[in-house]
Chain A
Amino acid sequence: MNRINIQRVENLADIDTFIDEVKQPLVFLAGGTDLMVYCRRGDNPAPTWIDISFLKPLTEITDTGDTISIGALATPRQLHESALIQKYVPALAKAAGLIGSPLIRNRATIGGNLGNASPAGDTIPPLFVHRAKVNTHYKSQSKTLEINNLFAGPGQTVLRPGELITSIDVEKEPHIIGSFLKLGQRKSLQIAKVSIAVALILDHDIVKDIRIALGAVGPTVFRAYRTEALLQGKILHAKLLKKAQKEILKECNPIDDIRSTADYRREMVPILLERILQDEILHRFTNF
């Protein structure tokens, strides 16, 4: 019989105590929108769940001056509605509004989305393009990782058991614009078949410092560096876009899975690139 012990912690030090006392595999319980689903399915990830949902400081989104600091317990709803996130992490504000449904957005957390490490996780491509840094806590030690280094494979982070994501930092870039698109089965309650995030700075009509990340078309989310290099410092026009579409196709590595086929994903990646650059960036953020 599968036994699960849920232990609430009131502060980070309690977690360290538990890791030492409980010499068993453990996971962190935040909103429960992944764990409770696994549990119901009969897949128990660990016999001890550490309930971190009462750690209030982790729910805050703050402007530290140089960075926006996002607590790991911030919900998609908070992220979507936050003026700070809309201004400084626009791709994340957009993505957060597309997670699950309004009900799920009241319970899910950004830390959980990262910890679950699905290549289709909606907060992940935006954090890649905003060059986020992830802060963790483990046995009284804090560590910071670049978001690109957090994921080891589908469903896997590089974190040790008991290592908790506490916050995510994004450097404030004054003229940053960005967006996120997700392709799924329906308008809501959909896990991405393909997702794309873009962040860039526009100098008149010249693309500066463009970053593009793709989700659900590789073992982890990744940056399309070669496609970015093609667009860097250029004016976005139809011929250049066609070149970029060819290149981005070469950068992705989709598979057939429960949600979609590799063929369909390959068809849609270039189309999403066009949509996000035309509709989301050029039409929404500029006067073009």
Chain B
Amino acid sequence: MIFNQVTIKFFLNTKPVTIRAPAGLPLVELLRDYFHLTGTKKGCGSGQCGACTVLLDGEPVPSCLVPAVQVSGKQVVTIEHLENQENLHPLQQAFIETGAVQCGFCTPGMILSALALLKRNPQPSVELIKEAMAGNLCRCTGYKKIAQGIRKAGEMIHEQD
């Protein structure tokens, strides 16, 4: 499919950016191919696996289903945003400590969904974690350590404050 080219102005990891791209280009491709931010992964391409999760105005979305033109004026946060800070984010630290990362492919999506969850609910129960993370699939870990990592991160954040 060939889409019309449009100029898109939005905020990428809090920085204002302007880019010219096909209007219907999936956001995941805009991020990876135009901005060279390859932390966001391409998995199923149909919004089901969650590997492509980014935050759009704070909400986790499947970036493979977001047409580029629709991010106009919005805040897009990718996993690289956590890399830009001085220290590891508690989620990143907790994932390492609990062994929640194996191949790492699902991890950026997991972290961003979890980031949004912890903002809404700083100390979620395991049940709530399972519900909130239902859109992020992992073929390696069996999810248990990911849930533990999220709980641990919640506690770490709570101790910081």
Q: B-contacting residues of A (Cβ < 8 Å)? A: 1-6, 8, 29, 31-33, 36-37, 39-40, 44, 49, 51, 53, 77, 100-104, 106-107, 187-189
Contact B1 A4 (CB under 8 A): yes
Residues of B within 8 A of A187 (CB): 134
Say yes or no: A40-B45 contact (C-beta < 8 A), given A6-B69, A8-B69. yes
Q: Out of B61, B132, B136, which one reaches A107, CB within 8 Å?
A: B61
Residues of A within 8 A of B2 (CB): 1-4
Residue-wise interface mask of B (39-60) relative to A, using a CB-CB cutoff of 8 A (1 in contact, 0 not) = 0000001111010010010011
**Interface presence of B127 (CB below 8 A):** no
Residues of B within 8 A of A107 (CB): 47, 61-62, 65-66
Q: A3-B3, A106-B61 are in contact. List 18 more A-B contacts (CB 8 A).
A: A2-B1, A4-B1, A4-B2, A4-B24, A6-B3, A6-B24, A8-B69, A32-B67, A40-B45, A40-B64, A44-B1, A49-B24, A100-B47, A100-B135, A102-B135, A107-B62, A188-B134, A189-B48
Say yes or no: A32-B65 contact (C-beta < 8 A), given A37-B46, A40-B45, A104-B135. yes
The answer for the CA separation of A36 and B28 in the assembled complex, in Å, is 12
**Interface presence of B4 (CB below 8 A):** yes
Looking at chain B, what size class is its interface with the partner chain?
A: 20 to 34
Say yes or no: A6-B4 contact (C-beta < 8 A), given A102-B132, A188-B134. yes
Say yes or no: A53-B70 contact (C-beta < 8 A), given A6-B4, A102-B113. yes
Residue-wise interface mask of B (59-80) relative to A, using a CB-CB cutoff of 8 A (1 in contact, 0 not) = 1111011110110000000000
**Interface presence of B23 (CB below 8 A):** yes
Residues of A within 8 A of B113 (CB): 102-103
User: Of all chain B residues, which has the CB nearest A53?
Assistant: B70
Residue-wise interface mask of B (1-39) relative to A, using a CB-CB cutoff of 8 A (1 in contact, 0 not) = 111101000000000000000011010000000000000
The answer for the CA separation of A44 and B2 in the assembled complex, in Å, is 11
Residues of B within 8 A of A102 (CB): 60, 113, 131-135
Say yes or no: A103-B69 contact (C-beta < 8 A), given A4-B1, A5-B3. no
Chain B interface, DSSP helix/strand/loop, else mixed: mixed
Contact B64 A103 (CB under 8 A): no
Residues of A within 8 A of B26 (CB): 36, 40
The answer for the CA separation of A36 and B60 in the assembled complex, in Å, is 17
Residue-wise interface mask of B (96-134) relative to A, using a CB-CB cutoff of 8 A (1 in contact, 0 not) = 000000000000000001000000000000000001111
The answer for the CA separation of A51 and B3 in the assembled complex, in Å, is 13
Contact B135 A39 (CB under 8 A): no
Say yes or no: A104-B62 contact (C-beta < 8 A), given A53-B70, A187-B134. yes
Contact A33 B70 (CB under 8 A): no
Distance of A130 from chain B, by nearest CB (Å): 25
Residues of B within 8 A of A3 (CB): 1-3
A–B pairs, 26, beta carbons within 8 Å? A2-B1, A3-B2, A4-B3, A4-B4, A4-B23, A4-B24, A5-B4, A6-B69, A29-B67, A33-B47, A33-B65, A36-B67, A37-B47, A37-B65, A39-B24, A101-B48, A101-B50, A102-B113, A102-B131, A102-B135, A103-B50, A103-B62, A103-B135, A106-B60, A188-B135, A189-B48
Contact B69 A51 (CB under 8 A): yes
Residues of B within 8 A of A51 (CB): 67, 69-70
User: Of all chain A residues, which has the CB nearest B70?
Assistant: A53
Say yes or no: A106-B59 contact (C-beta < 8 A), given A2-B2, A4-B1, A188-B134. yes
